[in-house]
Amino acid sequence: MSFGTATKVCKNAWIAAASQRRRETIGNAAGTKPTKHLVRMHPARVAMGRRECAVGAVAQQINDAPASVSEAFERCKAAGKVAFVPFLCAGDPDLETTKEAIKILDRAGATVIELGVPYSDPLADGPTIQAAATRALSKGCPMDSVLNMLAEVSPHIKAPIVMFTYFNPIMAMGCEKFCKRAVEAGAKGLLVPDLPMEETQLIRPDATAAGLQMVLLATPVTPLERMKQIAELTEGFMYLVSVTGVTGARVSIADNVGTLVKTIKETSNKPVAVGFGISTPEHVKKVVSWGADGVIVGSALVRTLGEAPSPEEGLAAMQALTEDLVSAL
């Protein structure tokens, strides 16, 4: 049942119940249940009924949420759509704003949401996300706080969360403990950008045991045979980096990535999502034309949210940008 349908059903049920109470109060035309006056429902009870209907409809929506990153992509493909995968840096400008941003992205149609854990030495990230991580860390944003925030927001969203974190913060907590806590907080996937394919074994057993799907990266310079191995080992989807370099919004994206998408899809049935440098609706349209299964947008959203004059303005601007990007899918 869709959100709109659930809301309509709930509303109709409420109206029917209210009508029945009125009939019982004033009687019918034949006077079978006479009464002296019409009993009106108190405004507070009316408001409460409406809130209960809304909560019920939202609960129905969340109950329909994909159980995994893989399922989210499968549903998208079955619907003939391309997945939208936004990235946020937790704690920039603060964790409360991050929580609201996640809700906005979910409502706007995110298929999966990548949640970045701020780190002091983010080797895969460009200036925009580095600056966001620095701002978050300067206010105090450890892994514990990020997971606590995620635990608060995850029951209210549909899109699966993929934790994007470097390995050092995981080691500091312990692999087994981190994986268990991440799943308890509501995460469905994990991407560790500084772990090459061979070293993912350091955490894969704990991730698998906890129920976290591990997403792996491939780049334009990854040898074909190695790319096939990555495609075999990745879970949920393969993250195809569109540039040789770090993250960051760019004026254009290289056309040769389209050939890579085609090559990967000819050798693997895993979904391929393209990221790094995608920041405009035109970029999104180009990636879709390549036949990619998903489009990943990070720096453009991070900059729009984190560099705004106020959190409220940042959230509004981020929502507008997200809607523009989604409309290009």
Catalytic residue annotation: 114, 125
Kindly report whether the peptide bond that precedes residue 93 is cis, defined as omega within 30 degrees of 0: yes
Instruction: Please enumerate in sequence order all residues whose Cβ is within 8 A of that of 111, keeping only pairs 6 or more positions apart, or say none.
Output: 72, 73, 76, 83, 84, 85, 159, 294
Burial class (CB in 10 A: 0-12, 13-18, 19+), 153: buried
> Are the C-beta atoms of residues 129 and 116 closer than 8 Å to each other?
yes
d(CA 182, CA 177): 8
